[in-house]
């Protein structure tokens, strides 16, 4: 120990540090040997790439630059005994020149290196004192105290002193700062509502509430509704409904029980930017292409895994040893999450949801919307972004002539896990293809079939290539129906295992049927147990539960399924289920299992997708209101009083687990971009940080906005995709239309059609045109009741007649249908406005 340090320490103990660092009377004996370095460096050790030496009473080392992972340079001490259940105080002082974030661990000395304490001290040139407490979950005679100091491009100097570990400390209690007890959507509310808030209180009878505008004038008042103790948070809560107040404005607040909420807006354009931000996230997740700083200021970086050293590149990736004898060019695609892996099953649902958002409302997505390299090419940017991933999925298909030809490899990723931070182009790990799986193959079949129909107007060759790949994948999956990803194949990347692929079969068949109308796929859909079963699980759909994707598309995308009406009704039944969960929940959550899942925020959003689809199918306002209320939870009306979308709301997640948006570990790197969803509360708390701080958490509290919490705070492509879908729905202002159309057809080769237009609005329609598209190549031959003309698939019916409010007109035609299905048109525009 240095003299000055000893003097400083004496001073600090006199003035008393924060509670965690205060010496306690019953603190146990020192466990670290020679933590003051008074007797040289022993028994401290270091990795061979650095040398430890005493410098002015401290232990110092020159840390080499150019290593990839924190554990590439280590200084440590072995054989530290720990006693299960004992709480330890761990203290040291350290400095870095230049300043760096280091990693201080107390861990198991052998694989799997279980961490009992993991901290990221921000080391400065002048030096600081650090202190932490943790409770040992196990007893062992030989834990390891280590400082992981690798991962820096530049060399730097590290010094430390006064390393101490003592038992008998007070257990650390983590108290999240949850701010005011009145919980609102911090972004705001739409003028038309609904507008609900939740108050955390000990009161059991109704309380007064007041809504104040930015000038602190009370503009509305009411009484709360006591809701008892909420299981998801353990809190006694009330709800309040201020939906009758509709005036747009900024910085409203709600006051109840002596607490005032964070400010929020009431605005019609509340969600206008969110779909764009949620979608822009995909560009900075791209692999194999330079991210241009001009397009994403602050996020520019060289192309990842493009084959430039130290990257080994994705242009010619071999299989894991013994898995295959070829290499594939699997450049491109999106990195799945905070790691550098690329996985077909989470890529599949992500690209599906982007294409589904587009298919729901093609007019809402424009060329130039996302500021990506393809902007300006005449195609909607959302399709260009989806194509970036779809091309990668196609490249994962086993080539003809090879074993398992037509199947898709489950994933490609690093041979070993890497540390944080690590920009994609600096990853030196070998990349490997993992075995094929039926699930991945069916993801490819489904998304390729979907891409075939959506890209047809823009790039027929790409559409045709997708359809061929989809058919090949389907046949290969049928021939290999039970090749499951190995649950233990989780080194260097996630396992994404799933031993039930009947749902993936159903989804793929549904997409192939919608695109081709062919009998094989129709028969498969009709025979699948997922076609009629109750697939609306409480926990929502996700990468491992995909039957819902097929059912939603069969309900919403025109097709000639014989039981289509029942399919549409089944979505409404699913929505009713989620509506009931939401109504019973005092935080308005349409998701409420007793324990929250990994990525719960994404499951909340996927349940909102079902509610939104029910609105699209029925026009019933209650479903749209439910989607809006569900979003309130994600943007602040929750037990933690925080928004889970970066950049949205006064207090929002911004330290999501990522190797390149790793600002928390390296101030030179950015935070995740605006519009990034955090995975959210996860009762499983699988990472050491969450285990240390969130033990015994109630579901809503199982979350921490820290980059180390990979189980509660990661970001992924398959979590931002429902955010994009739902926010596009929320931003959609088309609302209820003023007309309704009923279409009926009789006959097959030559058929007659009849259309009834009902004026559901308040104005008389004086002269009209009705436009629709025939998806099956049908041609109008004769008409009655209106004059019909056809150009390609688009039919226009014209009349000079009037339709009074509440009245209908009927007209009809004779048409020919070339072959196979005779899909009914579903989208009609009356005088340019969409009919419901």
Residues at the interface with ligand 9MR (CB under 6 A): 336-337, 339, 341, 494-495, 598-599, 714, 716
Q: Which residue's CB comes closest to ligand 9MR?
A: 494
> Using CA atoms, how far apart are residues 542 and 525, in angstroms rounded to an integer?
20
| Nearest CA among 698, 742, 788, 810 for reference residue 235 | 698
Choose the catalytic residue: 230, 432, 714, 732: 714
Q: Smallest distance from the beta carbon of 68 to ligand 9MR, in angstroms? A: 18
Instruction: Return the sign of the alpha-carbon dihedral for residues 688, 692, 697, 701.
Output: negative
Q: 826: helix, coil or strand?
A: coil
User: What's the distance, CA 277 to chain centroid?
Assistant: 13
Q: Smallest distance from the beta carbon of 750 to ligand 9MR, in angstroms? A: 51
> Using CA atoms, how far apart are residues 815 and 794, in angstroms rounded to an integer?
13
Choose the catalytic residue: 340, 425, 657, 663: 657
Contact 451, 458 (CB under 8 A): no
- CA–CA distances in Å: residue 223 to residues 409, 499, 556, 617: 58, 51, 41, 35
Q: Smallest distance from the beta carbon of 549 to ligand 9MR, in angstroms? A: 16
Would you say 317 or 345 has its CB closer to ligand 9MR? 345
Q: 400: helix, coil or strand?
A: coil
Would you say 384 or 542 has its CB closer to ligand 9MR? 542
| Nearest CA among 750, 503, 700 for reference residue 593 | 700
> Using CA atoms, how far apart are residues 12 and 32, in angstroms rounded to an integer?
21
> Using CA atoms, how far apart are residues 559 and 373, in angstroms rounded to an integer?
35
Q: Smallest distance from the beta carbon of 353 to ligand 9MR, in angstroms? A: 14
Q: Smallest distance from the beta carbon of 337 to ligand 9MR, in angstroms? A: 4
251 is catalytic: no
Would you say 161 or 336 has its CB closer to ligand 9MR? 336
Kindly report the backbone phi and psi dihedral angles of residue 269, in degrees, each rounded to the nearest multiple of 5, phi listed first.
-100, 20
Choose the catalytic residue: 427, 542, 705, 738: 705
Residues 6 or more apart whose Cβ sits within 8 Å of residue 21: 89, 91, 129, 131
Contact 374, 332 (CB under 8 A): no
Q: Smallest distance from the beta carbon of 334 to ligand 9MR, in angstroms? A: 12
Residues 6 or more apart whose Cβ sits within 8 Å of residue 375: 367, 368, 369, 381, 384
Instruction: Tokens for 144, please give them.
Output: 């390891």
User: What's the distance, CA 164 to chain centroid?
Assistant: 41
Q: Which residues pair with 1 in a beta bridge?
A: none
> Using CA atoms, how far apart are residues 57 and 161, in angstroms rounded to an integer?
8
Instruction: Give the residue carrying structure tokens 């005779």.
Output: 822
Q: Smallest distance from the beta carbon of 661 to ligand 9MR, in angstroms? A: 14
Would you say 67 or 716 has its CB closer to ligand 9MR? 716
340 is catalytic: no
Instruction: Give the residue carrying structure tokens 């040893």.
Output: 321
Q: Smallest distance from the beta carbon of 336 to ligand 9MR, in angstroms? A: 5
> Using CA atoms, how far apart are residues 476 and 471, in angstroms rounded to an integer?
9
- Percent helix, strand and coil across the chain, each rounded to 5? 25, 25, 50
Instruction: Tokens for 672, please give them.
Output: 């995740």
Q: How far apart are the first and last CA of the chain?
A: 78
657 is catalytic: yes
* Residues identified as active-site: 657, 705, 714
């Amino acid at each position: 120990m240095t003299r000055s340090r000893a003097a400083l320490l004496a001073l600090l103990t006199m003035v008393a540090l924060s509670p965690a660092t205060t010496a306690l009377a019953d603190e146990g004996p020192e466990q670290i040997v020679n933590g003051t370095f008074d007797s040289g460096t022993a028994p401290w050790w270091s990795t061979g790439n650095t040398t430890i030496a005493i410098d002015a009473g401290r232990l110092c080392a020159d840390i080499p630059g150019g290593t990839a992972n924190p554990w590439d340079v280590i200084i440590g001490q072995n054989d530290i005994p720990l006693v299960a259940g004992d709480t330890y105080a761990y203290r040291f002082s350290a400095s870095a020149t230049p300043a760096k974030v280091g990693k201080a661990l107390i861990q198991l000395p052998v694989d799997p290196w279980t961490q009992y304490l993991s901290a990221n001290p921000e080391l400065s040139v002048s030096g600081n004192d650090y202190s932490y407490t943790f409770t040992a979950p196990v007893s062992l005679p030989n834990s390891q105290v280590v400082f992981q100091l690798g991962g820096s491009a530049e060399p730097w100097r590290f010094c430390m002193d006064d390393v101490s570990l003592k038992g008998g400390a007070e257990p650390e209690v983590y108290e999240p700062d949850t701010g005011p007890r009145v919980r609102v959507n911090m972004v705001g509310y739409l003028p038309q509502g609904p507008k609900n808030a939740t108050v955390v209180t000990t009161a059991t009878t109704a309380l007064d509430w007041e809504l104040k505008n930015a000038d602190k004038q009370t503009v509305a008042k009411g009484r709360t509704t006591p809701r008892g103790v909420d299981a998801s948070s353990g809190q006694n809560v009330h709800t309040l409904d201020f939906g009758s107040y509709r005036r747009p404005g900024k910085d409203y607040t709600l006051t109840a029980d002596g607490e005032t909420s964070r400010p929020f807006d009431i605005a019609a354009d509340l969600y206008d930017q969110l779909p764009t931000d949620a979608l822009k996230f995909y560009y900075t997740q791209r692999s194999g292409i330079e991210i241009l700083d001009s397009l994403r200021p602050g996020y520019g970086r060289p192309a990842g895994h493009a084959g430039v050293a130290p990257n080994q590149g994705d242009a010619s990736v071999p299989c894991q040893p013994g898995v295959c004898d070829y290499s594939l060019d699997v450049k491109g695609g999106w990195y799945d999450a905070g790691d550098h892996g690329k996985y077909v099953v989470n890529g599949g649902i992500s690209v599906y949801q982007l294409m589904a958002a587009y298919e729901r409302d093609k007019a809402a997505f424009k060329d130039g919307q996302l500021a990506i390299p393809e902007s300006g090419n005449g195609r909607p940017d959302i399709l260009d972004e989806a194509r970036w991933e779809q091309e990668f999925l196609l490249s994962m298909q086993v080539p003809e002539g090879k074993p398992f030809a037509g199947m898709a490899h489950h994933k490609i990723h690093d041979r070993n896990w890497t540390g944080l931070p690590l920009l994609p182009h600096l990853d030196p790990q070998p990349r490997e293809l993992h075995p094929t799986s039926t699930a991945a193959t069916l993801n490819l079949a489904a998304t390729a079939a979907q891409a075939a129909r959506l890209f047809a107007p823009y790039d027929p060759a790409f559409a045709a290539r997708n359809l061929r790949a989809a058919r090949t994948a389907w046949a290969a999956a049928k021939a290999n129906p039970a090749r499951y990803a190995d649950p233990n194949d989780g080194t260097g990347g996630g396992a994404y295992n799933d031993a039930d692929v009947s749902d993936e079969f159903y989804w793929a068949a549904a997409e192939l049927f919608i695109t081709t109308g062919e009998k094989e796929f129709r028969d498969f859909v009709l025979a699948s147990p997922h076609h009629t079963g109750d697939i609306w699980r409480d926990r929502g759909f996700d990468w491992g539960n995909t039957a819902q994707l097929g059912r939603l598309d069969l309900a919403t995308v025109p097709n000639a399924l014989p039981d289509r009406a029942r399919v549409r009704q089944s979505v409404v039944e699913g929505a009713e289920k989620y509506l009931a969960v939401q109504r019973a929940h005092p935080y308005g959550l349409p998701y409420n299992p007793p324990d929250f899942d990994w990525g719960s925020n994404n499951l909340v959003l996927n349940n909102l997708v079902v509610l939104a689809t029910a609105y699209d199918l029925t026009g019933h306002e209650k479903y749209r209101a439910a989607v809006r209320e569900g979003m309130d939870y994600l943007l602040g009306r929750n037990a933690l009083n925080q928004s889970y979308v970066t950049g949205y709301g006064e207090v929002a997640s911004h330290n999501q687990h990522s190797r390149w948006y790793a600002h928390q570990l390296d101030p030179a790197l950015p935070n995740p971009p605006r519009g990034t969803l955090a995975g959210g509360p996860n009762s499983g708390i699988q990472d050491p940080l969450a285990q240390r701080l969130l033990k015994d958490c109630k579901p809503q509290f199982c979350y921490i906005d820290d980059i180390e919490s990979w189980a509660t705070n990661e970001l992924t492509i398959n979590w931002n995709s429902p955010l994009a879908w739902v926010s596009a729905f929320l931003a959609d202002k088309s609302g209820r239309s003023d007309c309704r159309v009923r279409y009926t057809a009789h006959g097959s080769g030559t058929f007659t059609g009849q259309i009834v237009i009902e004026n559901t609005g308040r104005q008389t329609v004086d002269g009209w045109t009705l436009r629709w598209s025939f998806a099956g190549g049908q041609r109008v031959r004769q008409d009655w009741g209106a004059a019909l003309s056809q150009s390609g698939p688009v039919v226009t019916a014209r009349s000079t007649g009037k339709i009074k409010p509440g009245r209908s007109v009927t007209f009809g035609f004779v048409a020919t249908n070339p072959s196979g299905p005779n899909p009914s048109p579903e989208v009609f525009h009356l005088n340019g406005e969409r009919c419901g």
